[in-house]
């Protein structure tokens, strides 16, 4: 493998009428190009302008070229900056840049990655702060969810669930509005009732004139894998004609006979 190329590169949109392009620098240009291509292909590129162009014109719209090779990364960064400071090409750049009273501020590859990292750290920090909010349970204030968990011998997840649940009105955040509005709580509760009211959609199956409440139950009783039973039900092989759904009428020229039904008491084993 050759020595990494340090320098400044250009990614041009050859299909765009305005002739847009992107200027960047890297301590390993070839590797950086691979990352550009991957991010564009997976619709996760940090530069929204380039991403939109890629989706509009296709993968063939961009060409890659090296503008200048450099000895150090710092030299490459300065060369890139000289391009970005050129006001005559500003309208053609995909680079996300703007100017303030202190001069040119630009978002290079490095700064974009730093911003992404900062956003992730802020999100994580926000979750930590949320867990440190004081809460009230049964009229007693605890400085944090962790402390309430320790004193009450409950898991953090259980406490968080109750804070968000409409059933546990004795669980609330101290000095904050609950994260879920009462209207949302009602909708969630009604949706849960509807889900519970739905009938089970498992199907009885018949094997050798014995009806099982589900494929899972048949597999457990017969000591075979569920995929095996599914395959035999669908198989055109006459050998497995005795495998079929009990509610199927296609396989019968006469009304289906009354077959013994193995009742399964354990609802968890039913096919859903």
pLDDT digits (tens, 9 = 90+) for 212-250: 888 888 888 888 888 888 888 888 888 888 988 887 644
Strand ranges, E, within 175-215: 205-207, 210-212
Torsion angles phi and psi, residue 262, rounded to 5: -85, 115
Within 10 angstroms of residue 181's Cβ, the number of other Cβ atoms is 10
The 10s digit of each residue's pLDDT in 109-155 is: 555 566 666 666 655 555 555 556 788 888 888 888 888 888 888 88
Q: Which residue has the higher pLDDT, 172 or 255?
A: 172
Provide the CATH topology of domain 7-102.
Answer: GIY-YIG endonuclease (3.40.1440)
For the CA atoms of 109, 110, 115, 118, what is the dihedral angle to 10 degrees?
Answer: 150
Confirm if 107 and 45 have CB atoms less than 8 A apart.
no
Nearest to 14 by CA among 52, 66, 64, 62: 62
What is the value of pTM for the model shown?
A: 0.41
Q: CA–CA separation, 92 vs 87, rounded Å?
A: 10
By CB neighbour count within 10 A (0-12 exposed, 13-18 middle, 19+ buried), where does 206 fall? buried
- Helix, strand counts (H, E) of the chain: 9, 12
How far is it, in rounded angstroms, from Cα 62 to Cα 14?
6
Q: Where are the alpha helices (DSSP H) in 213-257?
A: 215-222, 226-234
Rounded to whole angstroms, how far apart are CA atoms 26 and 5? 8
Quickly state the pLDDT bin for 262 (edges 50, 70, 90). Answer: very low
In the chain, where are the structural domains located?
A: 7-102, 135-197, 205-269
């Amino acid at each position: 493998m050759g020595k990494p190329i340090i320098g400044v590169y250009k990614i041009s949109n050859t299909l765009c009428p305005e002739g847009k392009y992107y200027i960047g620098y890297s301590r390993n240009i070839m590797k950086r190009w691979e990352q550009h291509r991957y991010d564009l292909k997976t619709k996760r590129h940090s530069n929204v302008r380039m991403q939109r162009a890629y989706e509009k014109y296709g993968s063939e719209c961009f060409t890659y070229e090296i503008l200048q090779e450099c000895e150090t990364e710092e030299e490459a960064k300065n060369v890139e900056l000289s391009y970005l400071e050129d006001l005559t090409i500003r309208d053609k750049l995909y680079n996300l840049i703007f100017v303030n009273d202190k001069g040119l501020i630009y978002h290079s590859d490095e700064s974009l990655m730093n911003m992404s990292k900062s956003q992730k750290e802020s999100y994580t920090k926000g979750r930590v702060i949320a867990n440190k909010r004081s809460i009230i349970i049964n009229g007693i204030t605890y400085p944090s969810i962790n402390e309430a968990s320790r004193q009450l011998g409950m898991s953090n997840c259980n406490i968080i669930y109750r804070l968000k649940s409409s059933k546990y009105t004795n669980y609330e955040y101290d000095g904050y509005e609950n994260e879920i509005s009462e209207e949302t709580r009602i909708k969630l509760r009604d949706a849960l009732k509807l889900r519970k009211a739905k009938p089970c959609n498992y199907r009885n199956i018949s094997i050798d004139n014995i009806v099982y409440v589900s494929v899972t139950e048949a597999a457990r009783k017969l000591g075979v894998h569920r995929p095996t039973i599914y395959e035999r039900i669908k198989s055109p092989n006459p050998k497995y004609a005795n495998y079929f759904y009990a509610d199927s009428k296609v396989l019968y020229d006469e009304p289906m006979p009354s077959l013994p039904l193995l009742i399964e008491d354990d609802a968890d084993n039913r096919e859903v």
